[in-house]
Amino acid sequence: MNFDYSDDQQAIKRTAHDLLVARFKPDTVRELAEGERYDEAHWDELCELGWPGIFIDDQYEGQGLGTVELVILLEELGYTLAPVPFLSNAAAGLALQHAGSDEQKDAHLKGIATGAERGTVGTLKNGVAELVPDADTAKLIVFLDGDEATLHKAEDCDIQPVDAIDQTRRYSRVVPGGDGEILPGDVGAASDRMAVAVSAELVGASQRVMEMAVEYARDRKQFDRPIGAYQAVAHRCADMLRETESARSATLWAAWAAEAEPETLPLASSMAKALASDAGWNVTSSALQVHGGIAFTWEHDLHFFLKRAKVDGSLFGSARRHRDRVADFHGLGAAA
């Protein structure tokens, strides 16, 4: 059995990696983050490539591919911390594709697939979604509330910007408004795919900071020896590799299950999100330790990755929530 990407998937990964590394150099990411803005030219370029609709059915002007291809893109976007509203728009597309009615799909999926009318998703608690990515520029917002989801026009909602620690993405506190439409389909299937999507972004960020730490451990010398030659540093780097690869394997399994074995997706998505949330925080924290004092400075880029990992870890369910869900699947406890 071949567990590698297909030739087409490998081509998507190479193209995405090369383009995103060229477009989102560290100085560019820093400039956009500190300016608290996106560059719409970047989003327009991704739309021209058809990326927002990579997983959306071709009848809605998507590419008609699958969750694995979406995960490939999101890992590369996480690798570069690309300041674009891709994840939020993809989450809205997943909600509509898997939980929307035919009428809702006809009305909104084309805009999401082409990027012309962006969407986002917020999780409600006591009637408020406290941290909604890119709500300030979205045309529509899907609100998740347990096993139910409703679709609202963004212009009808109360949207208040939030200064989250992650400066590479815009966030808002949103109170639903107007006449929301209930999404009548499989909300659970949509939510599971959202968890897989953000897991892929966490894997990409973990991969990048691990590479940064290993490079630094090779170059930085103490007592005329690279610090990577010391066991304390070498073992920390090995742990970073273990956590990153474990999260990647679980995420790819969940992405595969989404189309090939959907009955496994609920378990697989929670395993992926739990592992990826933990890895995102643990790997970036370990990279901070490997870099030493320089990593604590504003001028070093590592803090952008650490902050993205912290916020991503809570989106669409924390590691603890998903571990509890896995335990519940095995009859070991109730999901929180």
Contacts for 7 with CB less than 8 Å, ≥ 6 apart: none
Looking up tokens 């408004």 gives: 177
DSSP string across 118-144: -EEEEE-BTTBEEEEETGGG-SEEEEE
Q: Are 56 and 115 in contact (CB under 8 A)?
A: no
What are the chain's domains? 187-329 (1.20.140.10)
Residue 152 has pLDDT above 70, yes or no: yes
Read off the pLDDT of each residue in 137-153 and give the average, rounded to a whole number: 97
SS3 of 160, please?
A: strand
DSSP string across 297-311: STTSTHHHHHHHHHH
Residue 157: left if φ>0, alpha if ψ -120 to 50, beta else—which one? beta
The amino acid at 27: D
Q: Which of 285, 301, 296, 191 is nearest to 243 (CA)?
A: 285
Distance (Å, whole) CA 25 – CA 15: 16
Distance (Å, whole) CA 114 – CA 112: 6
For residue range 305-324, what is the model confidence (pLDDT) as tens digits? 999 999 999 999 999 999 99
For residue range 53-101, what is the model confidence (pLDDT) as tens digits? 999 999 999 999 999 999 999 999 999 999 999 999 999 999 999 999 9
Per DSSP, 85 falls in state S
Residue 317: left if φ>0, alpha if ψ -120 to 50, beta else—which one? left
What is the model's pLDDT at position 231? 87
What is the model's pLDDT at position 336? 42
Confidence tier at 226 by pLDDT (50, 70, 90) = confident
Chain-wide mean pLDDT for the chain?
95
Confidence tier at 229 by pLDDT (50, 70, 90) = confident
221-227 contacts: CB < 8 A, separation 24 or more? 227/290
What is the model's pLDDT at position 2? 66
Residue 335 has pLDDT above 80, yes or no: no
Neighbours of 333 (CB within 10 A): 13
DSSP string across 319-335: HHHHHHHHHHHTTSS--
Strand partners, 200: none
Cα dist from 164 to 69, 130, 174, 282, whole Å: 29, 11, 14, 20
Q: pLDDT > 70: what percent of the chain?
A: 98
What is the model's pLDDT at position 225? 87
Confidence tier at 334 by pLDDT (50, 70, 90) = low
Looking up tokens 């991704």 gives: 46
Distance (Å, whole) CA 217 – CA 290: 7
